[in-house]
Chains A and B, each alone.
Chain A
Amino acid sequence: DGGITQSPKYLFRKEGQNVTLSCEQNLNHDAMYWYRQDPGQGLRLIYYSQIVNDFQKGDIAEGYSVSREKKESFPLTVTSAQKNPTAFYLCARSREGQGSVSYSNQPQHFGDGTRLSIL
């Protein structure tokens, strides 16, 4: 699994419902990311976190929320405010983090994704 696990693989949401996607990493890496992928599109950044208890909005954060209470976990909640949630969601990790100068240019490695659909 490349040290990062996403669950579930498939998820269905009813109208007006919030759903939470899980992302866990076991490599003690500082940085974690959430991306959204739509057919024929590149990956678009939703949120990212470089350190525990801190996270930043990406390019398409509206309708989503995250938390980073533990280093190994970065769950993403798709809220009812996200009007077009059907997509493939990808979580990534990288070794770098704030103050980690020697790791400042490490690539991101992805989980296997969660496909979210609307019922």
Chain B
Amino acid sequence: GQQLNQSPQSMFIQEGEDVSMNCTSSSIFNTWLWYKQDPGEGPVLLIALYKAGELTSNGRLTAQFGITRKDSFLNISASIPSDVGIYFCAGRTRSGGSNYKLTFGKGTLLTVNP
């Protein structure tokens, strides 16, 4: 099946620093989603991207849909302690009976030191 390579696997940063993470695939996706998961909770949608080249912001978060449609990145500016969590990318293709299935990356664990 399709696979997403998400990197880095984990990050340890100081409060106030900027963060960047990305997902790449050998497959083309027509939607990219970024989620954040806190311990013991379900993932929460941060940003949704629908067009190649699209750059979207949500507060201190910015995400881009790669031109090739095979990658996406997420940036967090001026990190704060509550940014701690696991960040997942997810890509979706539209094909026959699997129209509504997502493929998830394995996540980036972010730790922010105050």
Contacts and interface: CB of A to CB of B under 8 A. Distances in A.
A110 B43 contact: yes
A75 interface: no
Interface in A65-91: 90
B88 interface: yes
Contacts of A16: none
A69 B5 CA distance: 37
Interface in B40-65: 40-45, 48, 50
B20 to A, nearest CB: 19
Contacts of B43: 43, 90, 110
A90 B100 contact: no
B88 A42 contact: yes
B45 A31 contact: no
Nearest to A98: B99
* Max chain B C-beta neighbours (<10 A), residue from A31, A41, A108: A108
Nearest to A43: B104
Interface string A18-41: 000000000000010100000011
A56 interface: yes
Contacts of A112: 40-42
B100 A42 contact: no
Interface in B43-98: 43-45, 48, 50, 88, 90, 94, 97
A108 B102 contact: yes
Given A96-B100, A110-B44, A105 B106 contact: no
B41 A45 contact: no
12 contacts: A31-B100, A40-B106, A42-B107, A43-B102, A43-B104, A45-B101, A90-B43, A92-B42, A107-B33, A109-B45, A111-B42, A112-B40
